[in-house]
Structures are given as structure tokens and as C-alpha cells.
Structure 1
């Protein structure tokens, strides 16, 4: 029989442990590479968004840099202008000046004039007094016509073209009428009854040629009239009873009895 080699357990365990350790390192490396790839894939879109240039919808053309004397600017052969990326909906940043150019300075506000301090010891300014209003002109007194005399007052009145005055109830009135009789050219006397009692409040109308000349109420039994020369028809009414008479200027004490 062939002779078997003695079993060496220590050598086998070392080989197995070495293989396990190698596999473990490989797995860890694979896991690390997979995690790095996942992280790289997650970072790349964010980096692309962050680095994408934002173009203004209305770009302001930058002024070209001044060329050196005697030199001309020429485009590089074969160079193509990059196409403008589409406008994004992201908020537009403030326009930055091109490198090598200075931003135009904003106009400073004009300085405000500060009030000059009043000199020391000078009296304060006194405001001008308001203009005085012109004094109101006094209004002229209103002319009020005098009140008409009482009905029973023995004064001369006017009816049409005839001036008349009536009275004579009292004795002093009879005396006054008698003193003025020469100024009038017609006189009427109104009485009633056999004793010739005096009447007042008699409606009197004077007509001539069918036309009314005057109309008035006799406040006393005797009336003195100043009328144009001529003949008149007298129509007198007392308490609904009417009397008529024909008189002419110059006649005195033409009596009408009821």
C-alpha cells in the first residue's frame, strides 16, 4: 500500500483564510467602486446645472477692447461662434461688466443746499402781517316809504285825476275844511233824514261822458274836490242805496240826502 502523507491542518487553514481574505477585499473594492459610481452619477446633473451659463434675454453687447495702432482684428480661420443657449426660467443675475471694462458710474444726487445758520446776535425774522381786509363800506339806508295815513285821517288823497279831502264829523274838522275850501273847485255833502244827519263811509264815483273819472270812499260827510273843469255825474252809495246827482266845477255844498 502507498504511504499516505501526514495531514497538515495548519497549512490548509492558512490557504483558506488567504482565499477568504482575498475575496473579501475584492468584494469591498467592488462595493466601493459601485458606491463611487452612484455618487458620481448623482453629482454630475447638479454640477451641470450649476455650471450652465445663464444668458440674458436682452444681452447688452460689450464694447470691443481698443486695438493696438496699426493692427486689425480678424476672425480665426475655422472658428465658429458658439450658439446661444436657450433662455432659462431661472432669475437673471445682474449684468456684470466685461473683464477689463469699468462699469459706468451712477450719477450722484445733487447736493442739497443746507440753510445757512443765522448770525449770532441777529434778531429773528418777523413774519409779515397778513394783508388787512378793506373795511366794509356802510350801506346806504334803505328808503322806506312812509306808511299811508289812517283811513279816517283828514288828509288830501288822489283818485285818478281828482284830488280830494273828506271829513267834518267833529267841529274842528269842519273849521279846517272851511279854511281850505278856497283851494278846491267842488264840494259834496252827504246827509240822511229830515234833520240832515251827517253820513260817512259813502262810496263815491265820478263819471263824465260815460267814463269813470274817480272812485273813492268818503270818510266824512263833507268832501272837497279839485277836478278838471267840467260837469260830472256823481253816483254815491250808502248801505246799498244809491243816489245820483249832476254837479259842475265851481258849485259848493252840493248836498246828497238819503
Structure 2
């Protein structure tokens, strides 16, 4: 099966030419466009998540042979989280070749973090099935680039840091409450408040709910740190 010019150009950006074109077509097909004769990318996403995880686990181990598990885990999580996958997907313009149903097309699916992250994992799985682990690892490491070098020494996300702060003081984990959602369906803005047992709160807004939670946790953690 011959690939379209757009998908062939995408494969060049990825750095892999597929022996089995069906694999990349499936990796780029969202469930909103699936049918009995057109499988979606959900199974590939499942596999790609594991392939990516192994690649990054190896990479963070090699880059710091003295680090403890508690140091390695947050670095690993920062590299494999959905936002990181979506960031890479945007750099190679994956959204332009996503195969979406009309409902997702009209609600900005090509820009959604979740869809881009899932599709990036599916593409990794497609490469793995097409050419094996070594090729998939090389592609992933090249696409992730200097993220491996830039990942913070302490890459714990703010929600994790705040939860550990609460646990160390005998509090239950922070609660995150969605206060508002504004804007059109294809570009919502979430307002989230984080609440502690001890009464402290902080709010933040973001286009993605999880990012709003992270921003609220970061704001509260900064406030708590300044307060000693």
C-alpha cells in the first residue's frame, strides 16, 4: 500500500520508513474514525507506552550510574508522561496527519494533548513492530533529544512534591477541585483549586485540567516553602 505524500513526509520527520505501511496508518487512526475494516491505534498505544518506558528506563540508568531509585523514578516519569509525548508529537507535526472522525476534527482534536500523546506512543509501537526494539530505541532517543540531558535532578512534578509535604505532616493528600470550565469545547480553560487539610488553598488556570492541577500545586508549594 502506497502512503500519501503527507504521511510519507511525516515518516521522514520521524526518521523511519515502514516496511509495513499498514502499521503507521493504524498508529495515526483515532478511535473516532475506526471501523471493522479500519482499526484504531488504541492497542498500539498500549504497546508503545511499554516500549517508551523501557527505552527511558535504560536511558536514565545509563546517564546516572550512582542515582538511587527515588531519584531515577521522577526523571523517568517526566520523560514518559503524556505531556512529554505530546510535545514531541508537536515538534514532528504529528497532528497534521492524524486520521480523525468529524467530531474530533471539529473540536480541535489535532491539537489535543491526550490525542497527540496517545498517537505518539502508537507510532513508537508501529516502529517497534516494523523494525524491532533497537530501531525503535534509536528513533525515540533521537526524537526526545536533549530532554534526557535537561530532565531536572529532582524531576518530581508539583503534585507529587505537595503530596509528600502533606504526608510528612500527617495530613491526607491534597484535594483538587475543578471550580470552572470556560471557553469553547475545542479550547477549554480549566480553573482548579488545591485544598489542604490545614486550610491552605491555591488556584490556577490552564488549557488542560492536569496542567491546572500542577500549576495550583506549584503555587501552593511555593507559598508554603516561603512560609517555612
Q: Same fold (TM over 0.5)?
A: no
Q: Could you tell me the TM-score, scaled by structure 1's length?
A: 0.20
Q: Could you tell me the TM-score, scaled by structure 2's length?
A: 0.22
Greater Cα radius of gyration, structure 1 or 2: 1
More helix by proportion, 1 or 2?
2
Structure with the bigger RCO (C-alpha within 8 Å, sep 6+) is: 2
More strand by proportion, 1 or 2?
1
